[in-house]
Chains A and B, each alone.
Chain A
Amino acid sequence: MQVNDSQILVLCVLADGPLHGYAINTAIEELTGNRLGPGSLYGALARLEAKGFVEYLEGEGRQRPVRLTGTGREALREELRTMAHVADVGLRNLGAAPA
C-alpha cells in the first residue's frame, strides 16, 4: 500500500476533478458521513503532494484548488483494485455476496 486511509479518501474525491481543501473535506463527508480533522486532511495532502500524486493550482482567491496528477490517478487505480480484491475475498469468506 502506497497510501493510508485519509490519503485514499482525498484521492477518491479528487478523481472527480480539482477541489480546494474545504471542498475536499465536504466531498469526503458526503462519501463517508464524517469530515477529516484539519490536521489529518492537510497532513494527507502534504504527503500526497510530496509523492507527486496531487498538485496544487493557482486559485482566484486565497484558497488554492488541488488536482490529481497522472501518477496519482494510476496509484489510486492500483489501490482501489487491491481494496476491491480484499473486499471480495473478505465477503466471500463471510458467505456474503459482493456488493
Chain B
Amino acid sequence: MTPARALVRLYPEAFREQWGPDLETEIDMAGWRSWPNTLLGIADMWLHPSLWPARSPAQRRLRTTTMAISVTALCWFVSHAGVEADSALSRSVGHSQPMSAGLLLTLTGLALIAPLPRPTVAGLAVLIRRVAARLALPSLLGMSVVLSVHLGVNSHTPLPMRAFLLACWWTALAVGAVRTCRITADLGARVVPPRPGRLRLGTWVLIGGAATNAATVLSVSLRPEADLTAFGVAAAILALIPAFGLVLRDCGRPSGTDG
C-alpha cells in the first residue's frame, strides 16, 4: 500500500467514497511535504461529521447527533470508570445527589437529541432488531458478570478469576457504549434526526450533565487530602466538554456547516 493510499484510508468512509481517488492522486503528486496538511485535513473531517458527503440535510444532522451521543458516551465512561476504580472517590461521590443530578441531566439530554423512529410497524421492527443485534453481546456479557457475582464470587475467589470478571465487566460497558453510538449512525433514513433547535437544546443539557459530574469529582480532588485520581477524572471530562461545542456549531448554521 502506498503512503497516499494509507493516508486516504484514514479519512471517514463517506468522504473516501466521494473524494478518495482525487485525494490519492493529489497526495501522490504533492509528495511527503503534503502529509502534515493531509493529517490536519483528516482530523478536521473526523471533528466535523456534518461536512461529510451526504444525500440529505437530515443525514448530516444524524451524523451531528451521533457525534453528540459519542461525546456523551465518552464522558460517561470516563466518569464511571474513575468513580468505580477509585474507592475513595466512589465513597465520596458514588451515589451522591450531585452525581445523580448529572446523570439525570445526561439522560434528559439524550432523550432530547434521540432520533425518533418513523411511526410505522416496519420501521419500529427494524429499529428493535437493530438495537437487539447491537446490544445483545455487551448485555449478555454484563449480565453474566452480575450473575457470577451474585452466585458467589467474593474475596476468596482466585485473583485471576476476579480479574477476568472485572475485565469482562469493563469490556461489556465499553462495547455497549461504542455500539450504542453505532446504532445511531447505522439507522440512516429509518429514523428522523432531531431538528436543529432540539439538538441544540439537548446538547446544552448534555453539557450541563457533564459539567455537573466534572464539578462534583473536582470538588473531591480539591479537599485537603488531595485525590489525584479525582483530579485526573475531572480534567478528562472537562477536556471533553469543548467537543460539544463542535456539535453546537454544526447545528447552529442554516446548512449545518461551518467555515
| Chain A residues within CB distance 8 Å of chain B | 3-4, 7, 20-22, 25, 35, 37-43, 45-47, 49-52, 56, 61-64
Contacts and interface: CB of A to CB of B under 8 A. Distances in A.
15 contacts: A21-B22, A21-B25, A37-B34, A37-B37, A37-B40, A39-B38, A39-B40, A40-B37, A40-B41, A42-B23, A49-B53, A50-B255, A61-B21, A63-B22, A63-B25
Nearest to A41: B26
Given A50-B50, A50-B60, A63-B21, A38 B27 contact: yes
B107 to A, nearest CB: 31
Given A47-B51, A50-B50, A64-B18, A38 B257 contact: no
Contacts of A35: 30
A47 B45 CA distance: 10
A39 B39 contact: yes
B41 A37 contact: yes
B259 A39 contact: no
B204 interface: no
Contacts of B52: 46
Contacts of B40: 37, 39
B23 A21 contact: yes
Interface in B20-74: 21-23, 25-27, 29-30, 34, 36-42, 44-45, 50-54, 60
Given A43-B44, A43-B45, A51 B23 contact: no
List 3 tightest A-B contacts by C-beta distance, closest first. A39-B41, A37-B37, A21-B22
B194 interface: no
A51 B256 CA distance: 8
